[in-house]
């Protein structure tokens, strides 16, 4: 397997299996942070989990109702906020590097799709 970096409007995500420590990368057009394999795995897993939660909540909310949902692992905390079909994403790394990042609602659908296809988790 070789290095993969997927990018789109307002997002990027990458995987380098040959990197010694930081095999993953997440970011936007303006910033990026390298992640360990475990951090990247948790990022992708929690992102998918939050997207599923938002999809399930769509039927229970009124059309104009906004919501925020959180998910957390030992390595990172993530939150989606907005409408079930249009929400932003932010995360905080809990592993000593003190990193916080955010993606706009317009970037999340493509980031979610790319995260799901990046590697086999």
For the chain, the domains span 4-117
Q: How many CB atoms lie within 10 A of CB 60?
A: 9
Residue range 4-117 in CATH 2.40.50.100: no
Q: Say if residues 76 and 94 touch (Cβ distance below 8 Å).
A: yes
Q: For residue 34, what are its two tokens?
A: 């390298």
Tens digits of pLDDT across the chain (121 residues): 688 999 999 999 999 999 999 999 999 999 999 999 999 999 999 999 999 999 998 888 888 889 999 999 999 999 999 999 999 999 999 988 889 999 999 999 999 999 998 865 4
Q: Say if residues 26 and 33 touch (Cβ distance below 8 Å).
A: yes
């086999």: which residue's tokens? 120
Q: What pLDDT, on a 0 to 100 scale, did the predictor assign at position 121?
A: 41
Distances (CA, A) of 20 to 7, 28, 45: 23, 23, 22
Q: What pLDDT, on a 0 to 100 scale, did the predictor assign at position 98?
A: 85
């Amino acid at each position: 397997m070789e290095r993969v970096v997927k990018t789109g409007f307002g997002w990027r995500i990458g995987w380098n299996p040959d990197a010694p420590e930081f095999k993953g990368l997440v970011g936007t057009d303006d910033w990026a942070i390298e992640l360990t394999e475990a951090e990247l795995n948790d990022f992708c897993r929690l992102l998918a989990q939050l997207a599923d939660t938002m999809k399930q909540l769509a039927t229970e909310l009124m059309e104009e109702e906004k919501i925020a949902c959180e998910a957390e692992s030992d390595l990172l905390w993530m939150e989606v906020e907005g409408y079930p079909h249009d929400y932003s994403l932010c995360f905080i790394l809990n592993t000593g590097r003190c990193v916080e990042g955010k993606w706009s609602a317009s970037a999340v659908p493509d980031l979610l799709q790319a995260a799901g296809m990046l590697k086999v988790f």
